[in-house]
Structure 1
């Protein structure tokens, strides 16, 4: 069993968080990180934990229009489908697959919306159990950078996810 992390990232902040989560998870289990454009159409049977994350756009998961808007602001990493579209079509092996969701969002007080909550809802619709509540990591502005300490917090969150599985790394 291993963990699969699938992320969508516009300006690189969500990618950095995905990599930090993977670093934490790797203390307990083998971990693979994939940008959503490279993610498989079907999750393999030997995946024990599926972690999905993306940026919060317009109070939720990105859409084609919000990705286009991001691209007008500069070069973006995820240029094809987003996690919304991937989750709408991905095949999962069984309900025994655990999952977790995260997002990046602007660190402003009372800013509503969260891509992570939308991802978590879709993971539950796929019949997957959530291993942890949806988690948000914060950026200072639309293009970032990450708020100080968020990389370490992401690593710790990943470590906590991994410790609940106790699957030896290989």
Structure 2
């Protein structure tokens, strides 16, 4: 039973770490990256549709991304969704067949703002991991009548180790992203 609780907690913690890493990828660095557009929703015939379902994305140059829509009728909607995207500062252009997004050079001040944003996303990930820990601890406490105190204590110790491991994974990803953001 303890193994089952720990296994479920591990799965949920991994999802929290993966979610934090995906959030990090949406923050732009000095280079264009298709992951930055992961969470862009395009108003496509009245429905909010993820951009990745409407167009293929390719890096043309370090700061230029080319979007080729599967439906040419969605060009203007894609262009508008990118223009409305906060924290990007890009001005997409459309030549009738593709949308070209050129990202402006990041200033040192803007890089520091992005570092703060990434730190907030990391804290959200840590909180998610801790919430999983709390729920798993409650599940372990519910087993106190069925299992011995030593087994429960061992399970709680293993849970703490899992929590530390996943929080450290988020912190490592944060350090990498910070270094990437501050790199000139």
TM-score normalized with structure 1 length: 0.29
Greater fraction of residues in strand: 1
TM-score normalized with structure 2 length: 0.27
Q: Higher Cα Rg: structure 1 or 2? A: 2
Return the structure number with greater relative CO, CA threshold 8 A, min gap 6: 1
Greater fraction of residues in helix: 2
